[in-house]
Amino acid sequence: MKRKIAGATAIALASVLVLAACSSASPNKAAGIGASTNGKGKTVTLWLVGADTPDALRTYLKDEFKKETKGTLNIQQQDWGDIVTKLTTSLPDANNTPDVTEMGNTQSPTFTNVGAFLDISDMYKELGGSKLLQSFVDAGKVDGKNYTLPYYFGSRYVFYRKDVWTKAGITTPPTTLDEFNTDVATIASKNPAKINNFSGFYLGGQDWRDGISWIFANGGDIAKQSGGKWTASLEDANTLKGLTQLQALYKSASKAPNDAKDSNQYIYLNDDDAIPGATTADKATPVSLSAATIMAPGWAHWSIGTKGKTDGKVTRTWDDKIFGTFVLPGNDGKAAPVFAGGSNIGISAKSKNPGLAKTLLKIMFGKTYQEMLGKNGLGPANSDYTSALGTDEFAKALISSSSNSKLTPAAPGWASVEASGVLEEFFSKIKDAPDLTALAKEYDAKITPMLNTK
């Protein structure tokens, strides 16, 4: 621990030095500066990643920022696929850095550890303090100081075909994980819809973000920290228990290819109308339904439903009689821990307008904006405003599944673990592994050094 602190201090010191060297021309001295409202003629750049933040929210931010500071807010949309590259090149560059940026919660520790963000501990209380989603706050913390804070959260839960489950003789959703495992295997073997390659539960071979719940639910984890050093823990007894269950699922319940990733699972749940000439009897052209159950982030519900048409555009309408949701149950009476999705947000250490950037954060953590997030199905960072999500089936599932959500390890090298695709690779090998323990050991040896690289 001592060494880690020393290292972190050195980094902090170095970044302060560099900062001082680079920003000697500009008057601000980073930390300690208060939120400024004098933005006349100035532009603050905000990077948002992906299209998740709806346009109405962007407009609100721009208007509100103009009102409070008379400055201009320039919102740049970046893509999830390139955000690491762009943060790597732009954040150290005082002339081109975004002032405020969103990043994936799992990317936060990597950049926070190298001093990419401004210390905003002084604002922590004002922005929501202990009301903010704790696991996300931790992902942005180094040595007790806050560098990034949660932006919004999402969560994963189960979507299923009520009609297919009923046909297979299962009328109530499972209440324990073991029950779930048996149910989906039964449905797969009964294949009540008589469809080729039918999955009781569709779980992609490389889909570790969903599969990890089986590890969590059995008390296992990917990595653990002791004495300032991270070690991969796939070979731990609890993790192995989860892996064994996963192997059984892959073998008996899922027909997903072993290279399938965590994307667009919902298409396997939908029916599509047969096009002219295609019938169910014709083997070469089955209907597209090919799974009774999937697990996906909450927003997937917009794409699940019966097909309709409005103004020539095809729509999907959720039908309670056909589709249902439930939160993946654990074996302890609670929900199984799921992988928390979502974003953090931070001010670049090289920002030339830290005062204005702080004002922007205040707007984003304010009641109005937090409630706007909730209304759009994005979990608000501040738990006071969770009710804004509403009370429908999806809001309930989101809140309940995220009550027990877990983040990936806050190891400094986590981003390289994700970038290397080693977890995808490991999960893809579970199904056909003759010896899971050996496989787990092999990958522990690969992952451990990555976890500790900076």
Partner 1 sequence: MSGAIRLGNRRRTPIKPSRVMFNVIGIVIALVWIFPVYWMVNSSLLPNVVLQEQTPTFVPFGGSWDNFTAVFAGGTFFPALGMSVVIALVVVVCCLFFAFLAALAISRFRFRGRKGFVLAILFIQMLPAEGLFIAQYKLMASVNLLNTVLGVSILYIAAVVPFTIWMLRGFVAGIPAELEEAAMVDGLSRTKAFLRITFPLLAPGLVASGVYAFLQAWNEFTVALVVLQDNADQTLPLWLRGFIQASASRATDWGQVMAASTLVALPVIIFFLFVQGRMTSGLVSGAVKG
Partner 2 sequence: MSALTATPRRRRRILTPYFLLIPAVGILVLAMGYPLVWQLITSTQQFGLAQQFGQPAPFVWFANYVQLATDPYMWTVIGRSIAFCFVTAAVTMVLGVLIALLMGVVNRVVRIIIQISLLLAWAMPVVAAMTVWNWLFNWRIGVVNWLLSSVGLPFQDHNWLQEPLSFFAIAMIIVVWMSVPFVAFSIYAGLTQVSGEVLEAAQMDGASASQRFWNIIVPIIRPVLGIVLLLQVIWDLRVFTQIKLLQDAGSIASETNLLGTYIYQLGTGSSNFGLASAVSVFVLILTVAISAFYVRSLLKEDES
193: phi then psi, degrees, rounded to nearest 5: -90, 0
| Residue closest to 159 by CA, chosen among 379, 51, 308, 319 | 319
Strand partners, 49: 78
List C-alpha distances in Å: 104 to 83, 142, 148. Answer: 9, 17, 11
- When CB distances are held under 5 to 8 angstroms depending on the partner's kind, the choice from partner 2, partner 1, none that residue 419 binds is partner 2
Nearer to partner 2, 116 or 170 (CB): 116
Over the window 336 to 355, marking each residue x when it contacts partner 1 by CB under 8 A and - when it does not, the resulting string is --------------------
With CB under 8 A as the contact rule, the residue among 63, 93, 126, 432 that binds partner 1 is 93
Question: 348-382: string of b/e by CB count within 10 Å (b at 16+)?
Answer: bbbbbbbbbbbbbbbbbbbeebbbbbbbbbbbbbb
With CB under 8 A as the contact rule, the residue among 36, 247, 420, 437 that binds partner 2 is 420
Q: Does 274 bind partner 2 (CB under 8 A)?
A: no
Shortest CB 372 distance to partner 2, Å: 32
Q: Does 250 bind partner 1 (CB under 8 A)?
A: no
Q: CA-CA distance, 237 to 246, in Å (whole number)? A: 14
206: phi then psi, degrees, rounded to nearest 5: -105, 10
Distance between the two ends of the chain, CA-based, in angstroms? 16
* Contacting range for partner 1; rule: CB under 8 A; set: 17-25, 223-231, 258-266, 383-391: 258-266
Q: Tokens 């208007």 correspond to what residue?
A: 63
Q: Does 77 bind partner 1 (CB under 8 A)?
A: yes
Cβ neighbourhood burial of 174 (10 Å; 0-12, 13-18, 19+): middle
Nearer to partner 2, 150 or 412 (CB): 412
The first and second tokens of residue 349, run together, are: 């250490």
26: phi then psi, degrees, rounded to nearest 5: -90, 150
Amino acid at 159: F
The first and second tokens of residue 396, run together, are: 């309930």
Could you tell me if 280 and 286 are in contact, meaning their C-beta atoms sit under 8 angstroms apart? Answer: yes
* Contacting range for partner 2; rule: CB under 8 A; set: 11-19, 44-52, 324-332, 352-360: 11-19
Largest Cα span, the chain: 75
Shortest CB 81 distance to partner 1, Å: 6
- When CB distances are held under 5 to 8 angstroms depending on the partner's kind, the choice from partner 2, partner 1, none that residue 40 binds is none
Q: Does 450 bind partner 2 (CB under 8 A)?
A: yes
The first and second tokens of residue 4, run together, are: 């880690």
Q: Does 126 bind partner 2 (CB under 8 A)?
A: no
Mapped onto helix, strand or coil, the DSSP state of residue 103 is strand
With CB under 8 A as the contact rule, the residue among 12, 18, 42, 50 that binds partner 1 is 50
With CB under 8 A as the contact rule, the residue among 38, 59, 76, 166 that binds partner 1 is 76
Residue 124: CB atoms within 10 Å: 17
Q: Does 182 bind partner 1 (CB under 8 A)?
A: no
Over the window 62 to 81, marking each residue x when it contacts partner 2 by CB under 8 A and - when it does not, the resulting string is -------------------x
Nearer to partner 1, 289 or 430 (CB): 289
* Contacting range for partner 2; rule: CB under 8 A; set: 87-95, 121-129, 243-251, 322-330: 87-95
Nearer to partner 1, 206 or 448 (CB): 206
| Residue closest to 149 by CA, chosen among 414, 352, 362, 404 | 362
Nearer to partner 2, 208 or 385 (CB): 208
Q: Does 428 bind partner 2 (CB under 8 A)?
A: yes
Shortest CB 51 distance to partner 1, Å: 5
Q: Does 420 bind partner 1 (CB under 8 A)?
A: no
309-338 positions binding partner 1, by CB under 8 A: 312-314
Shortest CB 52 distance to partner 2, Å: 20
Residues in the chain: 454
List C-alpha distances in Å: 114 to 36, 141, 216, 315. Answer: 26, 12, 29, 46
Q: CA-CA distance, 245 to 178, in Å (whole number)? A: 9
With CB under 8 A as the contact rule, the residue among 169, 228, 257, 449 that binds partner 2 is 257
Q: Tell me the CB-side half-sphere exposure of residue 80, using CA atoms within 13 A.
A: 12
List contacts with partner 1 (CB under 8 A): 50-52, 76-77, 79-82, 85-86, 88-90, 93, 95-96, 263-264, 266-267, 272-275, 277-278, 284-286, 288, 299, 302-303, 307, 312-314
List contacts with partner 2 (CB under 8 A): 10-11, 14-15, 17-18, 81, 84-85, 88, 91-92, 110-111, 113-116, 196-197, 206, 257-261, 283-284, 288, 290, 413, 415-416, 419-422, 424-425, 428, 450, 453-454
